[in-house]
Structure 1
Amino acid sequence: MDMKVNKRQGQFLNDTINQWQQQQLIDTQQAQQLRHSYDVISFDWKLLAVYSFWVAIACFILSVILLIADDYLIALISRIINTPASILAFISAIIAAGLFYFGVRRRQRYPQKTVSNEAVFFFGVLITAVTSVFLSHITIALHWRESIFILLPTIIYLIVGIQLRSVLVWLFALIGIGLLVLTETSYLAQDHYLFWGMNIPSRFTIVGMLIISASVALKRHSRLLFLQESTLFMGLLYFFNALWMLTIFGNYDSLSAWSHIKQIELWGWSVTMLLVTLSAIYYGIKNNNPLIRAFGIIFLLLCLYSRYFEYFWGTLHKAVFFAILALSFWIIGSRAEKIWQLGNKN
């Protein structure tokens, strides 16, 4: 069976085969055989499937939110089924387990339907969170911390993500870790913004670095290697978003303290972010890591645009600012082109 590729992949393969042929690494017959080994599909149906399932999930969540927001319907449902929270928690737990089981069986039967299989797992994730909410109502008299009811589903997601080899469930486990850190540190800070001298963005730079370190450790375990890229993605997302927030708010302990400073006083954070993003771009290019490279580029531009709105929006003409940006990136591109040409000569 010929390999199915999209137009972009087909163009890349065709260019590669042409280059090999020009360099006389393969002859004309081998080039033709390689070109006939794949088919270019005119429409990316897999991408449409991904978007369709995400839209379906989003619509389902929206319908639940609208249902919850409707006081009349909630009152009506409460009168019809006056069920204790303990029973609802048990029922939802059974449903969640059933969804995970159904997802596994469906994946065994239809392994090629990766998108819809992961969508089934998502509903298992959602119902697990609902179970945790019901449990919180059962133990409300015990005055347990809210973080316990985030910890419970997070542990379940970690175990299920590994055992079922589901990247989607694993991503929700990493999101749960972030929520757990936020909730627990805010509780321990006793209504103050600082925990161990760090505000929320500062804490999440640490969380991001720890998750990035975990992604490096996953490379050493073949059984967990499938989780490495998604873990790196979440670590970078936490880290760069938190660092960007620090360039805006700094490490201040309250909004009132932050409101009395000038943005120029936070230049140290901006310089740090510029150095970090440039380092990420350099590392991504040197080690052929498109994920790190993309994060570096996106947050470099975000940092530059943020500084523009903070410092130059009212004074520097917009055309001048973007002309300076264009000139700077032209210089970077020219320098990169020279380095690339030197590398080709070797």
Structure 2
Amino acid sequence: MDMKVNKRQGQLLNETIAQWQQLQLIDTQQAQQLRQSYRIISFDWKLLAVYSFWVAIACFILSVILLVADDYLMALMSRLINTPASVLTIISTLIAGGFFFLGVKRRQRYPEKTVSNEAMFFFGVLITAVASGFLSHTAMAQNWRESLFILIPTITYLIIGVQLRSVLVWLFALFGVGLWVLTETSYLAPNHYLFWGMNIPLRLTVIGALIIGLSALLKHNPRLLYLQEATLFIGLLYFFNALWMLTIFGNYDSLSTWSHIKQIELWGWSVAMIFLTLGAILYGIKYNNPLVRAFGIIFLLLCLYSRYFEFFWGTLHKALFFAILALSFWWIGSRAEKLWQLGNKH
């Protein structure tokens, strides 16, 4: 059976085969056989399936929200309120387990339908969070910390994500880890804001760095290798978003303190972000990691544009600012091109 690839992948394969043929690593017959081993598809149906299922899930959630506004449903909800929270916890837990069970059965029956199978797991994730919400209203949980009701579903997602080999459930587990750490450290902080001298953005940066480190460890574990890229994505998302917030808010303990400082006092965070994003770009180019490279490019531009609005919006003409940016990136591109040509000569 021919391998199906999209246009971008097909172009890369064609260029690679042509280069091998030019270097006489393969002959004309072998090149023709390689080209016949794959077929370029004109439309990425898998990507459409992914977007369609996400839209379907979003529409389902929206329909639930709209139904809440209905008088009949409101009357039904009022009757449910009289149901003990413990009973609702058990019911929602069973429903969540049912969704995970159906997802497993569906995957066994239709292993090729990865998108719809993961969508089934999403509903299990959603109802698990609802079950934790009901648990918080039970009599036995009245004195528990709020962070525990985030930790319980997070641990559930971690276990289920690994056991069911579900990247989607694992992603929600990593989101839950970040939310739990922030909630728990805010509770332990003396003023509910600074923990070990770190405000929320700085703590998020540390969380992101730790998750990136976890992704590096997963590389060396064949059983969990399928989770490596998703873990790296969440780590980079935490790290660079939090770092960008630090360039705006700094590591201050309150908004009132921050409102009295000048943005120029935060230049250190901006310099750190520029160096880290440039480092991510170089790392992504050197090791052919498009995910790290993309994060570096996006957040480098975001950092530069943010600094423009902070420092130069009222003083430097917009055309001049972007002209300076264009010249600087042109210089970087020219230097990179020269280095690339030198590398090809050896």
The offset of 1:33, in angstroms, is: 1.3
Write the deviation string for residues 197-219 of structure 1: whole angstroms up to 9, x where unpaired.
11100111111111111111112
> Which aligned pairs between 1:290-301 and structure 2 lie closer than 5 A?
290-301=290-301
Kept in 2, the 8 Å contact 1:201–1:242? The answer is yes
The offset of 1:153, in angstroms, is: 0.2
> Which aligned pairs between 1:204-243 and structure 2 lie closer than 5 A?
204-243=204-243
Amino acid at match of 2:166: S
Structure 2 residue aligned with 1:126: 126
Write the deviation string for residues 76-132 of structure 1: whole angstroms up to 9, x where unpaired.
113444422211111111111111111111111111111001000111100100100
Write the deviation string for residues 248-302 of structure 1: whole angstroms up to 9, x where unpaired.
0000111111011110110011011111111111111112221111111111111
SS of 2:137's equivalent? Answer: helix
Quick one: distance in 2 between partners of 1:168 and 1:143? 32
Q: Does 1:36 align with 2:47?
A: no
The offset of 1:26, in angstroms, is: 1.7
Q: Does 1:175 align with 2:175?
A: yes
Structure 2 residue aligned with 1:8: 8
The offset of 1:46, in angstroms, is: 0.4
Cα pair distance change 1:341/1:19, threshold 3 Å: same
The offset of 1:71, in angstroms, is: 7.8
Between stretches 29-38 and 159-168, larger displacement belongs to: 29-38
Kept in 1, the 8 Å contact 2:135–2:141? The answer is no
Amino acid at match of 2:130: V
Structure 2 residue aligned with 1:157: 157
The offset of 1:232, in angstroms, is: 1.0
> Where does structure 1 lack aligned partners over 5 or more consecutive residues?
none
Kept in 1, the 8 Å contact 2:278–2:296? The answer is yes
Q: Does 1:245 align with 2:232?
A: no
Instruction: Normalising by structure 2, report the TM-score.
Output: 0.96
Kept in 1, the 8 Å contact 2:208–2:234? The answer is yes
Quick one: distance in 1 between partners of 2:147 and 2:67? 26
Structure 2 residue aligned with 1:93: 93
The offset of 1:190, in angstroms, is: 4.8
Kept in 1, the 8 Å contact 2:136–2:142? The answer is no
Quick one: distance in 2 between partners of 1:191 and 1:139? 29
> Which aligned pairs between 1:265-276 and structure 2 lie closer than 5 A?
265-276=265-276
Quick one: distance in 1 between partners of 2:59 and 2:139? 31
SS of 1:59's equivalent? Answer: helix
Cα pair distance change 1:102/1:272, threshold 3 Å: same
Structure 2 residue aligned with 1:329: 329
Quick one: distance in 2 between partners of 1:309 and 1:73? 50
Between stretches 79-88 and 283-292, larger displacement belongs to: 79-88
Between stretches 19-28 and 139-148, larger displacement belongs to: 139-148
Kept in 2, the 8 Å contact 1:167–1:230? The answer is yes
Amino acid at match of 1:16: T
The offset of 1:9, in angstroms, is: 1.2
Between stretches 166-175 and 183-192, larger displacement belongs to: 183-192
Q: In angstroms, what is the RMSD of aligned CA positions?
A: 1.5
Structure 1 residue aligned with 2:309: 309
Q: Does 1:116 align with 2:116?
A: yes
Quick one: distance in 1 between partners of 2:286 and 2:17? 24
Quick one: distance in 2 between partners of 1:26 and 1:224? 36
Write the deviation string for residues 154-178 of structure 1: whole angstroms up to 9, x where unpaired.
0000000000000110000000001
Structure 2 residue aligned with 1:202: 202
Between stretches 314-323 and 18-27, larger displacement belongs to: 18-27
Amino acid at match of 1:7: K
The offset of 1:67, in angstroms, is: 3.7
Quick one: distance in 1 between partners of 2:131 and 2:114? 26
The offset of 1:45, in angstroms, is: 0.5
The offset of 1:64, in angstroms, is: 2.5
Kept in 2, the 8 Å contact 1:192–1:253? The answer is no
Instruction: Normalising by structure 1, report the TM-score.
Output: 0.96
Structure 2 residue aligned with 1:19: 19
Structure 2 residue aligned with 1:77: 76
Quick one: distance in 1 between partners of 2:61 and 2:268? 41
SS of 2:314's equivalent? Answer: coil
The count of aligned residue pairs is 345
Structure 2 residue aligned with 1:136: 136
Structure 1 residue aligned with 2:60: 60
Kept in 1, the 8 Å contact 2:157–2:169? The answer is yes
Structure 1 residue aligned with 2:256: 256
